[in-house]
Amino acid sequence: MIQLVKGTKDIFAAEVSAWQEIENKMRRLCHTFGIGEIRTPIIEFTELFVRGVGETTDIVQKEMYTFTDDGDRSLTLRPEGTAGVARAYIEHGMHNQAQPTKLYYISPTFRCENTQAGRQRQFHQFGVEMLGSYSPAQDAESISVAAALLEEMGIEGVELRMNSLGCPDCRSRYNKKLRDFIGQNLDKLCPTCKERFEKNPLRVLDCKEERCKEIIANAPSVLECLDEECTEHFQKVQDILTEMGIAFTIDPKIVRGLDYYTRTVFEFVSDGLTVCGGGRYDNLIEECGGKPTGAVGFGLGIERLVMILEKQKGEITEVPKRDVFIGSMGEKGFLKAQGIALALRKNGISADCDTVERSVKAQMKYANKIGARYSLVIGDSELENGAVELKEMETGEKTTVTLTELSHVLAEKCK
C-alpha cells in the first residue's frame, strides 16, 4: 500500500470546513485593511531563496526541497512566502503602482525538517507583505493586522514580543560584540551553534537547546548597538502601537530565523508557542535585483493556528451536513428524486438523494449518517398526489408539503 509522505497529511471535509472558516476570516480582515491577494508559483529558482532568505539560514542549508530540471536549472519548492512576493513585486514593476503595495497569500509551503505537533513538511502559510514604505507606521500597521487576526480567531493569552535588529551597520557592530561573547563560551554550545557561530553568530540566539539558551541569556543586547536613526525608528513603532492600544514586550533575544530582517522584528506568542512572526526587510528587494525598497510583513502557519485553537477551545471541526435527503421508491420515484435534488441545489439548498437504489430503510440510515436536517421519500403515491411528507430528522416531526412548494419551504427552514 502506498502511504503518505512523512510530514504531510490528508485534510478531510470536517477539517476543511474549519480551515475555510479561518481562511474566510483572513480574507475579510485583509479586505478591511486594503490588502489584496497574490498567488505565486509553488516552485521558484533556487537562487531566489539563497539570495533572499540567506545562505547561512537553516532553511537554505538543511530544509529546502531542491531538484534539477531537464534544463539543468536548480528549482526549489517554496520554503516561505516572502521571497516569492518580492520577486513578483520586482518582475511586474509593482513599484510603479500606488505605494505601499499591500499583499496577502494563503499557500502551501515546504520544508524538510523534523516533524512535530503543529510542524509539518508541507504546511500552509498565511502571510501579509507591505512593500514600498520605510515608515515605522508601516511596521505598526503590519503588527496591527496580525493582532486583529488573532483577536478575530479568539486565540487566548496572546503576547506580542518585539525587538530591533537595526540597519546593516548596527548589525555589524552587534555581530562583533556577539562574536566576542560567544567565542568565550564556544566549547559549551551545541554542535549546530558551533557551526552557526562560524557563518552567522546571530543565528545562535535562535537556538532552542537549554544549554545554549542559558549562555545566550547573558549575551549583549542588540539594542545597545543601534544608531540614532534606528533607535528613533523603533521608538516610533512603540509609540504608534501604544496609541493603537496594542500591548507589547521588548525582547532583545528575538532575531527570527531569516537573514533578510532589518530593524523591527516581532512574534506573537500563546501558550509558549509562536503563533506568528515577522518584521521589516528593507534590503530584500534590492538583494533580489530590484531598487532599494522598504518592506515589512509577517507569516503564520495555519496548522499551528488550528492546533492552538483546538487546544484552547476543543474540537473545532464539523462534518458539513446536508439540508435534506430525498429518498425514493420505485423507478418513477427514483428518477423524480434526481430531478428534485438538482432543482433544490440550484436554489442553494444542500440536497442529497439515493443513487444506488437501496431499500427505503437503508436510505434513511444513510440520511442519519450524513446528518441530514430533513428527509422525504417520493414514490408512486407522492407523485400522484403531488405532495410529500417532509420529516425533521432530529424531532421526527412531519409536515405535508406540495412538490411545487418544496423548494420555498426548505429555503425558509434552512436559513
Q: Which residues are annotated as a binding site for L-histidine?
A: 80-82, 111, 125, 129, 256, 260-261
Taking the C-alpha atoms of residue 193 and residue 180, their distance in angstroms, rounded to an integer, is 15
- Which residues are annotated binding-site positions? 80-82, 111, 125, 129, 256, 260-261
| 3-state SS assignment for residue 323 | coil
Does residue 268 contact residue 89 with C-beta atoms inside 8 Å?
no
Question: What secondary structure letter does DSSP report for 43?
Answer: E
How many other β-carbons are positioned within 10 Å of the β-carbon of residue 42?
14
Q: Are strands 101-110 and 122-131 parallel, antiparallel or unpaired?
A: antiparallel
Write down the number of H helices and E strands in the chain.
Answer: 15, 16
Taking the C-alpha atoms of residue 75 and residue 90, their distance in angstroms, rounded to an integer, is 19
Cell of 85: 512576493
- Letter string b/e over residues 392-404, b meaning 16 or more CB atoms within 10 A of that residue's CB: ebeeeeeeebebe
CA atoms within 13 A on the CB side of 194: 8
Angle between helices 13-32 and 136-153 (to 10 degrees): 140
What value, to the nearest 5°, has the Cα angle with vertex 221 and ends 216 and 223? Answer: 155
How far does CA 263 lie from the centroid of its chain? Answer: 24
